[in-house]
Amino acid sequence: MPNPFDLDGLQIIYFGWSAFKIKTADAVLYFNPSNVGEVPEEDKADLILIGNSHDANCSEEDIQKIMKDGSKIYGPQKVEDTIGPDVLVVTGGDTYTEKGVEFNIVPAYNEGSSYNPRDFGFGFEVMIGGKKLYFAGDTDLIPGMQDRDDIDIAFLPIGGTDVMDYRDASDSIDMIKPKYVIPMHYKVGLDSPVESFKHRVSGRAEVVVMT
């Protein structure tokens, strides 16, 4: 069972890579659900936000596990192409409110890449349980990150393959200025960049390493 991070009534569970559950007294939100295991009824999704259609982020099997009557799925066009018409298609700059959760669609891309080009996928800025979250998605260090204001928790990729490495992710902290940062999208083990990331970020945000 993954270890949760709790902050003022908001609970975060990490399933690995870039998959998270965010739970409050009023709503259950998933980012990029994957490897969710057995899901009790009380943990099924009110809202599912999928950043792009890559297999690691867009698991039909896991989406089915967390769905219930009334669950809403949001993602870019390629996610609808993969999952089907239940997906509500988003575009950059859109703003939504669902189940009392407010969220904005923000850029996430690799400059000059055919794997994560502009508008293929997105990140999310979310207000839930009185906390403002920034889920960066599959992205490089990009212009516009400085537009993220008053972020309580930033979810940042640090692995360096088609996403920021730990150095760029550390540099992004000066743009985003979150209170807490949760690293994601990295390999575990001897080659893990987590300790290097923690060292570089020290004193600028509290790093929460989830397992």
Residues 6+ apart with CB under 8 A from 84: none
Residues 6+ apart with CB under 8 A from 39: 65, 66
- What is the reported pLDDT for 1? 66
pLDDT tens digits for 77-129? 999 999 999 999 999 999 999 999 999 999 999 998 899 999 999 999 999 99
Q: Cβ–Cβ contacts within 10 Å for residue 81, how many?
A: 12
Q: What is the CATH number of the domain that holds 128?
A: 3.60.15.10
pLDDT tens digits for 175-204? 999 999 999 999 888 789 999 999 999 999
Q: How many domains does the chain have?
A: 1
Q: Which domain holds residue 171?
A: 5-207
pLDDT tens digits for 33-42? 999 999 999 9
Q: Cβ–Cβ contacts within 10 Å for residue 199, how many?
A: 11
What are the CB-based long-range contacts (under 8 Å, 24+) for 132-137?
133/22, 134/106, 134/176, 134/178, 135/20, 135/31, 135/49, 135/51, 136/108, 136/164, 136/172, 137/18, 137/51, 137/52, 137/108
